[in-house]
Amino acid sequence: MDIVVSGIRSTGNLHLGNYFGAIRNFVKMQEENHCYFFIADYHSLTTHPTPANLHQSVKTVLVEFLACGLDPEKATLYIQSDVPEVAELYLLLNMNAYLGELERCTSFKEKIRTQPNNVNAALLTYPTLMAADIIIHKAHKVPVGKDQEQHLEMTRTFASRFNRMYGVDYFPEPVAYNFGQELVKIPGLDGGQKMSKSDNENSAIFLADSPEAIRKKVMKAVTDAGPTEPNQPKPQAIENIFQLLQIFSSSDTYTHFNELYNRCEIRYGDLKKQLAEDITTYTRPFRERMEDLERDDVFLGRVAKIGAEKARESAAKTIREVREIIGFRSM
Ligand code: ADP
Ligand code: TRP
């Protein structure tokens, strides 16, 4: 049985991109693997240093994990900071992580650009913390979206370097994994390639959005003046809307609007109204479950506690063995 590990930073609500790119895979994978899914609250401090609502953000993601169908009986669901062994492995991996390779990381370069006033050491070593998250459970597979591939590549580097340096065959080299092969990328409403909350809040529809919020965002989605000749290829922003239609609406609806487009008779207002309605129908059950879970602090507390215990058991075993391999001995 494969060991699967993945995490989501606790920086706000989950959007449709997170769901289709990551969480939906978690839900499928928990059936047949040994899964560890966690909320990366240490990682969230790299970009949200004064976390006024750290606790609430963690609770939100836990509620949303559960509402999406993650099952604490099938998978180990935990909060990263409940497992301090991760921090020790992070420290040990940092001893053999080099400035050059960390500086070359795309996400680091991106952060230098987006938050020039807070280029902290943990941003630089984000990949070693992520590697620690993964290899602490000796994972084989890591379900994540395409944007995380480079971090996984670095995880393999750190794992194999550890094995080589200490002459052991201890850590497996984990691979990025997408259930059913196809890497899914949910496009943004702003005409951008990727729905993302970090880039532009309004490009994203959150699982928690009310029908009213969904309608407003979809109606504001970027479009153009419409095609002037029949059967033309669609510009990116229009392609995005059609991709969303393909995911959330019936195939009849998709065909209907696609034909209108090809005949230059498309009215984006009608298309958007339909799309908003279909997304609302899709997300309604998630939202309802979230409302119930949000009120059940006793249950949430129990889930987090059981998850922490199971995750710590696995993590502590790894730390014991790693200390042994490196050569720490008690006097
Ligand atoms: P954001 O870009 O909104 O800040 P995160 O970086 O927190 O999202 O991503 C969390 C997870 O969701 C990652 O595994 C990432 O690959 C996946 N993900 C995020 N946006 C998308 C998207 N638009 N399509 C597919 N997967 C996505
Ligand atoms: N870097 C991931 C993201 O931004 C979150 C994350 C942290 C993660 N640790 C992880 C993902 C370990 C998979 C495995 O989405």
Q: Is the CB of 6 under 6 A from ligand 2?
A: yes
Protein residue closest via CA to atom 9 of ligand 1: 18
Q: Are 294 and 287 in contact (CB under 8 A)?
A: no
CA distance 32 to 318: 23
CATH fourth-level superfamily of 201-290: Tyrosyl-Transfer RNA Synthetase (1.10.240.10)
Locus of tokens 């129908």: 281
Q: Is the pLDDT of residue 201 over 70?
A: no
Question: Phi and psi for 36 in degrees, rounded to 5?
Answer: -125, 115
Distance CA 233, CA 242 (A): 12
At the fourth CATH level, the homologous superfamily of domain 3-184+297-326 is HUPs (3.40.50.620)
pLDDT at 112: 96
Sign (positive/negative) of CA torsion 300, 306, 309, 310?
negative
Side-chain-side CA neighbours of residue 171 (13 Å):
30
- Say whether 51 sits in a helix, a strand or coil: coil
State how far the Cα of 13 lies from the Cα of 60, in Å rounded to an integer.
7
> Residue 37 and residue 8: Cα distance in Å, rounded?
8
- What distance in angstroms lies between residue 192's CA and the mean position of ligand 1's atoms? 14
Examine the pLDDT at 330 and tell me if it is beyond 90. Answer: no
Does the Cβ of 44 fall within 6 Å of ligand 2? Answer: no
Domain with CATH 1.10.240.10 in the chain: 201-290
Is the pLDDT at 147 greater than 90? The verdict is: no
Of 327 and 146, more confident? 327
Question: For the residues 253-274, what does the mean pLDDT come to?
Answer: 97
Residues of the chain with CATH 3.40.50.620: 3-184+297-326
Residue in 59, 111, 141, 217 annotated catalytic: 111
Residue 223 near residue 270, CB atoms below 8 Å: no
How many angstroms separate the CA atoms of 282 and 191, rounded?
Answer: 22
Predicted confidence at residue 193, as pLDDT, reads 83
Taking 70 as the threshold, does the pLDDT of residue 182 lie above it? Answer: no
Q: Which amino acid is at 311?
A: A
CB atoms within 10 A of CB 306: 15
Ligand number nearest to the C-alpha of 83: 2
Does residue 142's CB lie within 6 angstroms of at least one atom of ligand 2? yes
